[in-house]
């Protein structure tokens, strides 16, 4: 298979890099990580036979790569945090740095944040989300429902959402 031409890659990058960065940033919560993950996702996509894919298939593929990289980074950070927690007690931030919504979202697993982002920000349907995350359509329905329920419970327990 021929490689993706420099021009075609440039057009693809310009069309999708911003949306991919926003997705990664919202899921990871860290701009530097988003920069690294987006760069790595596009580099990994280039090392495949992406020219054989349609524009939309490439878009879904690069989102899937980024999602996998987010999970890998999250797992690595959890191991590091666990190790650091054994060495020293956690540090409490002053109240003026409290961001309840960010903390609530941080309580979700990366996959839950990814599902919610793709559904509500990227406005992808269940099939598109399934292709982006490498899941079945039925799994997306169930996992998205659970993610919505979990964020609702976290927000209502924090009294951020009024019940009707």
Convert the pLDDT of each residue in 23-35 to its tens digit. 999 888 889 999 9
Question: Distance between alpha carbon 118 and the CA centroid of its chain, in Å?
Answer: 8
Tokens read off for 121: 């920000």
| Domain count for the chain | 2
> What pLDDT was estimated at residue 162?
45
pLDDT per residue as tens digits for the range 28-62:
888 999 999 999 999 999 888 877 888 899 999 99
pLDDT per residue as tens digits for the range 84-140:
666 666 556 555 655 676 777 788 888 888 888 888 888 889 998 988 888 899 999
Chain-wide mean pLDDT for the chain? 83
Q: What is the Cα–Cα distance from 60 to 156, expressed in whole angstroms? A: 33
Q: What is the Cα–Cα distance from 63 to 68, expressed in whole angstroms? A: 9
Cβ neighbours, 10 Å, residue 13: 16
Burial class of 52 by CB neighbour count within 10 A (0 to 12, 13 to 18, 19+): exposed
Residue 65 has pLDDT above 90, yes or no: yes
Q: What is the Cα–Cα distance from 19 to 15, expressed in whole angstroms? A: 8
- Pick from 38, 59, 91: which residue ends a domain? 91
Question: Distance between alpha carbon 146 and the CA centroid of its chain, in Å?
Answer: 17
Domain residue limits at 111: 92-159
> What pLDDT was estimated at residue 97?
54
Which CATH number is 121's domain given?
A: 1.10.10.10
Which CATH number is 23's domain given?
A: 1.10.1740
Give the total residue count for the chain: 164
53 phi and psi, to 5 degrees? -95, 155
Higher model confidence: residue 66 or residue 99?
66
């Amino acid at each position: 298979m021929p490689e993706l031409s420099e021009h075609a890659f440039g057009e693809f990058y310009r069309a999708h890099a911003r949306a991919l960065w926003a997705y990664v940033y919202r899921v990871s919560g860290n701009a530097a990580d988003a920069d690294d993950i987006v760069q790595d996702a596009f580099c990994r996509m280039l090392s495949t036979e992406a020219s054989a894919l349609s524009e939309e298939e490439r878009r879904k593929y690069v989102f899937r790569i980024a999602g996998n990289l987010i999970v890998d980074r999250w797992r690595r950070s959890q191991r590091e945090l666990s190790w650091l927690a054994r060495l020293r007690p956690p540090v409490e931030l002053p109240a003026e740095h409290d961001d309840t919504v960010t903390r609530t979202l941080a309580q979700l697993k990366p996959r839950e944040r990814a599902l919610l982002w793709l559904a509500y920000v990227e406005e992808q349907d269940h099939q598109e989300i399934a292709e982006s995350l490498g899941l079945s359509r039925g799994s997306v329905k169930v996992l998205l429902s659970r993610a919505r329920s979990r964020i609702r419970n976290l927000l209502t327990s924090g009294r951020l959402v009024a019940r009707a």
